[in-house]
């Protein structure tokens, strides 16, 4: 047996020494942990799954089956036109409505306040939430695409266009959702997020093509919902990249991030 260490002298490493290393974890480690936690909470929440999967699937199936009955004039088969818009709707549902409501109640119950006392910065919180949203959106895309393919969807895909639309759309809506949740009380956030969601679903150019809105179509292109819907349609029906709409989404992302950084409160 080795002799015990003398009092007052540090035990050498490798001889059972306890060497604490106080300090915050690296930024990327913090972000990964936050993203993992956020994604698990979203998947376990029934209301979040309703917004993320059930409503978009119902809109897709109902739109495809009812397009001919209501006399909706489209530039191609209903499923080919509506499927990209429903994928855009899923992004909006998760990145804006679900995130705003969840964050609003996290502030109410003190979760955000406790995160504010941790080494996690506001930037880290935002990045972690966006990464979690992208994971959930990947699940949404698999489910919705599977339903669309079963209905006869034949997409013409631009992978670059799809990825850029999803990433920039998520960033834009997530930043706006956090700005809303950080400025209002939880109950007000719940009401406002649902109201905005319904308004954009009905008249924001996200599901239906912009041509369906007549003269208002060009104006809707400047909304994040219209820009995301059009970018997804061009990427999945024309196999092209909608650079103008992507620029609009990038501008909304920057604006939302600026609002969040100035108005977001931890409690």
Which pLDDT belongs to residue 267? Answer: 61
Which pLDDT belongs to residue 16? Answer: 53
Which pLDDT belongs to residue 23? Answer: 66
CA dihedral 186, 189, 193, 195 (to 10 degrees): 110
| CA atoms within 13 Å, Cβ hemisphere of 142 | 6
Which pLDDT belongs to residue 13? Answer: 54
Give the number of residues written for the chain: 267
Which pLDDT belongs to residue 51? Answer: 73
Q: What is the mean pLDDT of each run of 10 residues along the chain (267 residues)?
A: 51 55 73 80 72 86 81 78 93 90 80 71 75 87 93 92 94 90 86 92 89 84 94 94 95 91 71
Which pLDDT belongs to residue 65? Answer: 86
Which pLDDT belongs to residue 124? Answer: 78
Which pLDDT belongs to residue 248? Answer: 96
Q: Where are the domains of the chain?
A: 27-67+74-263
Structural tokens at position 181: 């949740």
Which pLDDT belongs to residue 19? Answer: 62
The alpha carbon of residue 153 and the mean position of all alpha carbons in its chain are separated, in whole angstroms, by 24
Which pLDDT belongs to residue 44? Answer: 73
Residue 22 to residue 28: CA distance in whole angstroms: 17
């Amino acid at each position: 047996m080795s002799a015990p260490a003398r009092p007052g002298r540090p035990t050498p490493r490798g001889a059972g020494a306890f060497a604490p290393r106080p300090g915050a974890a690296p930024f990327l480690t913090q972000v990964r942990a936050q993203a993992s936690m956020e994604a698990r909470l979203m998947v376990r929440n029934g209301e979040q799954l309703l917004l993320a999967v059930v409503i978009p699937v119902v809109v897709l199936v109902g739109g495809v089956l009812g397009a001919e009955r209501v006399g909706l004039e489209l530039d191609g088969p209903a499923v080919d036109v509506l499927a990209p818009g429903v994928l855009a709707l899923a992004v909006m549902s998760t990145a804006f409505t679900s995130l705003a409501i969840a964050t609003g109640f996290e502030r109410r119950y003190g979760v955000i306040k406790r995160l504010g006392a941790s080494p996690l910065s506001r930037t880290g919180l935002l990045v972690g939430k966006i990464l979690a949203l992208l994971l959930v959106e990947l699940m949404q895309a698999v489910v919705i695409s599977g339903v669309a393919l079963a209905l006869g969807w034949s997409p013409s895909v631009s992978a670059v266009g799809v990825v850029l639309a999803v990433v920039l759309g998520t960033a834009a809506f997530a930043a706006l959702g956090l700005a809303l949740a950080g400025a209002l009380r939880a109950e007000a956030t719940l009401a406002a997020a649902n109201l905005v969601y319904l308004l954009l679903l009905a008249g924001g150019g996200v599901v239906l093509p912009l041509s369906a809105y007549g003269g208002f179509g060009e104006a809707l292109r400047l909304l994040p919902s219209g820009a995301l819907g059009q970018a997804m349609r061009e990427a999945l029906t024309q196999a092209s990249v909608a650079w103008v709409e992507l620029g609009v989404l990038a501008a909304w992302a920057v604006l939302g991030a600026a609002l969040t950084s100035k108005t977001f409160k931890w409690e």
